[in-house]
């Protein structure tokens, strides 16, 4: 006896449809999650709600051969490791703009060379946004000339006082991935922002972990929308052992939490010495994921 399948033609058509649907789905390009500064959730978050891992005197490193350094690695490595806020000192020396710290004889690099390093990193990492703060002894013109020579001038983002900050994703889309502040001579040119109009910070004179304060120190509390937490020990210079102790996870987290509670401001920059010691990058990563962690 020969068995037959009722409505076999329909079964064949249904099987074929399933086959082609599966093939079509397999051939669809998979959507890749967008990541901004290391996290998907930061793409939609405004800059003033993001915490940036920052290096105090970023140019002053053991790797680059500076005397009395503040960092172990050069800021090229700092950026590769996840540092996204660079604090520099700038001076006029040998008839040119330089990165130095107090005395250029103790360590130096032309500002153009330093900024070119940053350009090269950003050129290779198109989803990354970097904050630069300058403690500057320079006039505006030589500073902006160096940014132009390094190719960074076109990447500068201009923020209008009183307006909402762009999200990290918007800065990426605009290709305005450098947010530049200076304590001197800034505020008159687009993309060259006056630091203490936009920032508040806490005291920077800690000599031990117990000295870490959350008092609002420098900056205009009426206009500032960004908050820098200085978290480094100086007595009288930076010491790698002090930083190892200061940069422990619980010490960092407690300082950030206390400052947020006492000031009502969201920390936006955690500025440290010897970021390579301790848990700086882990703390910043977890801090930026707090809403996700609370729901997990």
Q: What's the fold here for domain 51-287?
A: TIM Barrel (3.20.20)
Mean pLDDT of the 218-231 span: 98
Cα–Cα distance measured from residue 71 to residue 57, given in angstroms and rounded to the nearest whole number: 8
Q: What is the predicted pLDDT for the residue at 98?
A: 98
Backbone angles phi and psi of 36, in degrees to 5: -120, 125
d(CA 207, CA 210): 8
Which helix H or strand E contains 86, and what residues bound it? strand 85-93
pLDDT of 135-177, one tens digit each?
999 999 999 999 999 999 999 999 999 999 999 999 999 999 9
Using CA atoms, how far residue 4 sits from 7, 9, 11, 227, in Å, is 9, 11, 12, 77
Q: What are phi and psi of 202, to 5 degrees?
A: -95, 170
Higher pLDDT among residues 283 and 188, named by residue? 283
Query: 52: burial class by Cβ within 10 Å (0-12, 13-18, 19+)?
Result: buried
Reported confidence tier of residue 12, pLDDT bands at 50, 70, 90: very low
pLDDT of residue 293: 54
Domain boundaries, the chain: 51-287
Question: Bigger pLDDT: 292 or 220?
Answer: 220
The pLDDT of residue 176 is: 98
Collapsing DSSP to helix, strand or coil, 18 comes out as: helix
pLDDT-derived band of residue 33, with 50, 70 and 90 as boundaries? confident
At residue 291, does pLDDT exceed 90? no
140-150 vs 111-124: helix crossing angle, rounded to 10 = 40
Which residues, 6 or more positions from 214, have their beta carbon under 8 angstroms from its beta carbon?
A: 202, 229, 255, 258, 259, 262, 263
How far does the chain reach from its first CA to its final CA, in angstroms?
A: 62
- Give 29's DSSP letter: P
Here the tokens at position 266 are 């969201």
What H or E segment, with its residue span, contains residue 201?
A: strand 199-201
pTM of the model as a whole: 0.89
Beta pairing partners, 90:
99, 136
What backbone phi and psi angles, to 5 degrees, belong to 39?
-140, 140
């Amino acid at each position: 006896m020969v068995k037959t399948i009722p409505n076999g033609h329909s079964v064949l058509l249904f099987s074929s449809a399933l086959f082609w649907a599966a093939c079509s789905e397999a051939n669809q390009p998979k959507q890749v999650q967008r990541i901004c500064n290391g996290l998907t959730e930061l793409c939609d978050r405004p800059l003033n709600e993001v915490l940036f891992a920052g290096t105090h005197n970023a140019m002053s490193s053991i790797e680059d051969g500076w005397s009395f350094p503040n960092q172990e690695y050069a800021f090229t490595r700092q950026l590769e490791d996840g540092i996204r806020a660079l604090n520099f000192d700038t001076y006029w020396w040998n008839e040119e703009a330089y990165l130095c710290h107090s005395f250029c004889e103790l360590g130096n690099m032309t500002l153009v060379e330093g900024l070119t390093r940053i350009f090269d990193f950003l050129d290779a990492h198109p989803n990354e946004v970097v904050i630069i703060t300058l403690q500057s002894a320079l006039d505006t013109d030589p500073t902006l000339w160096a940014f132009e020579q390094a190719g960074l001038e076109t990447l500068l983002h201009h923020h209008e006082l009183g307006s909402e900050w762009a999200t990290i994703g918007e800065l990426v889309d605009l290709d305005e991935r450098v947010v530049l502040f200076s304590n001197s001579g800034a505020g008159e040119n687009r993309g060259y922002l006056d630091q203490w109009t936009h920032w508040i910070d806490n005291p920077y004179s800690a000599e031990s972990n117990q000295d870490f304060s959350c008092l609002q120190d420098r900056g205009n509390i009426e206009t500032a929308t960004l908050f820098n937490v200085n978290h480094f020990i100086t007595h009288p210079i930076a010491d790698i052992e002090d930083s190892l102790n200061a940069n422990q996870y619980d010490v960092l987290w407690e300082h950030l939490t206390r400052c947020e509670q006492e000031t009502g401001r969201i920390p936006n920059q955690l500025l440290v010495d010897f970021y390579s010691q301790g848990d700086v990058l882990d703390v910043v990563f977890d801090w930026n994921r707090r809403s996700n962690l609370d729901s997990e």
